[in-house]
Homo-oligomer: A and B are copies of this chain.
Amino acid sequence: MNLTFRQLKVFEVVARRLNYTSAAKELHLSQPAVSMQIKQLEEQANTPLIEKLGKKLYLTEVGNEMYNYARSTMQQLLDLEETISQMKSLHKGHLKLAVASTANHFVIRMLARFARVYPKISISLDVTNRSTLLELLEKNECDLVVMGRPPEGHNLTARPFLENPLVVVAHPEHYLVREKKVSLKELAREEFVIREQGSGTRGAVERFFKEHNLKFRTKMDMSNNRAIKHAAEEGLGLAIVSLHTLEIELRAKTLNIINVEGFPIYRHWYVVQREGKRLSPIAKVFKDYIMQEAEGLIKDFNLPIGL
């Protein structure tokens, strides 16, 4: 059976009005055009759908079934159109994000504002490490990723949208905290608690030390940012972390920033997507949103760090 939506539409009108001529008017067609559509539909169904007794039209039993089908199908089509149109107009839809652990804090802050503007969209947020992020991009399992500078050669498009200052922190009683200016040489004598090998932060710090021909000594490395800060609080070593993750600790004065020569190391946060990826409407809007708003939002919660 090879129906057309046209046949169903015309049949729906005829079945409703039980009158070809007035159906033709409603459809802005000639009366024979209607007759033909019905005839074709009857040929497809291989059974009469409408019967004429005297002057009046009646639906046959099969015709009645077809009428139900026509209405149901056309309603479904309307629903689909509605859904698509909502998706396009961003009133609905799903946004799949993934962010580096370190970016979690301020991305969530931005998401909260964004979600208030588009209340009907739903969001998946995966907070994970760098290699998993790259994997997600690879498998096209998310729309956008927020992370540090991605490696070359993965067919990724990355746009920096926010500075990511790395600072050195220690617990308040650390002797370097009192120093007005700490040289790199002094710093290099310390031991550090820092993110694991392969993380963006770790890479940047190691490069920084290498550039200055200094040795970087790690006391401990961990994949959990909170744990790193906690270790620093406990005096296990100095920590080098993104300023954006320090809000609470600075407020609570459980950690202090050390004013080191050459610091903060300015890295950047990037919005990353697969090259050639056609973003969903909502993803496109979110990307624009963070590109524009990031600076302002961060300022709102940045604390004076005296640098």
Name A's B-contacting residues (CB within 8 A). 1-5, 45-48, 51-54, 56, 58, 60-62, 65-66, 69, 72-73, 76-77, 80-81, 83-84, 87-88, 93-94, 140, 155, 274, 276-278, 280
- Contact check, B1 vs A280: say whether CB atoms are below 8 A apart: no
Known: A62-B84, A66-B80. 15 other contacts (CB 8 A): A45-B84, A46-B88, A47-B87, A51-B277, A53-B140, A53-B276, A53-B277, A54-B276, A56-B140, A60-B278, A61-B87, A61-B94, A65-B80, A73-B77, A76-B76
For the complex, would chain A's binding face be called helix, strand, loop or mixed by DSSP majority?
Answer: mixed
Which residues of B are found within 8 Å of A54, using beta-carbon distances? 155, 276
Query: Which B-chain residue is minimally distant from A72 (CB atoms)?
Result: B76
Which residues of B are found within 8 Å of A278, using beta-carbon distances? 48, 51, 60
Which residues of B are found within 8 Å of A87, using beta-carbon distances? 47, 61-62, 65
- Contact check, B61 vs A69: say whether CB atoms are below 8 A apart: no
> Could you jot down 9 A-B contacts, CB within 8 Å?
A1-B77, A1-B80, A1-B81, A4-B4, A52-B276, A53-B140, A53-B274, A60-B278, A65-B84
- Contact check, A80 vs B88: say whether CB atoms are below 8 A apart: no
CB distance from A165 to the nearest CB of B (A): 34
Query: Which B-chain residue is minimally distant from A6 (CB atoms)?
Result: B2
Which residues of B are found within 8 Å of A77, using beta-carbon distances? 1, 3, 69, 73
**Which residue of A52, A69, A80 has the most chain B CB atoms within 10 A of its CB atom?**
A80
Which residues of B are found within 8 Å of A5, using beta-carbon distances? 2-5
Q: Whole-angstrom distance between the alpha carbons of A20 and B2 in the complex? A: 23
Which residues of B are found within 8 Å of A51, using beta-carbon distances? 277-278
Q: Whole-angstrom distance between the alpha carbons of A263 and B242 in the complex? A: 113
Q: Whole-angstrom distance between the alpha carbons of A88 and B49 in the complex? A: 12
Given contacts A3-B77, A60-B280, contact A47 B84 (CB under 8 A): yes
Query: Which B-chain residue is minimally distant from A141 (CB atoms)?
Result: B58
Q: Whole-angstrom distance between the alpha carbons of A72 and B72 in the complex? A: 11
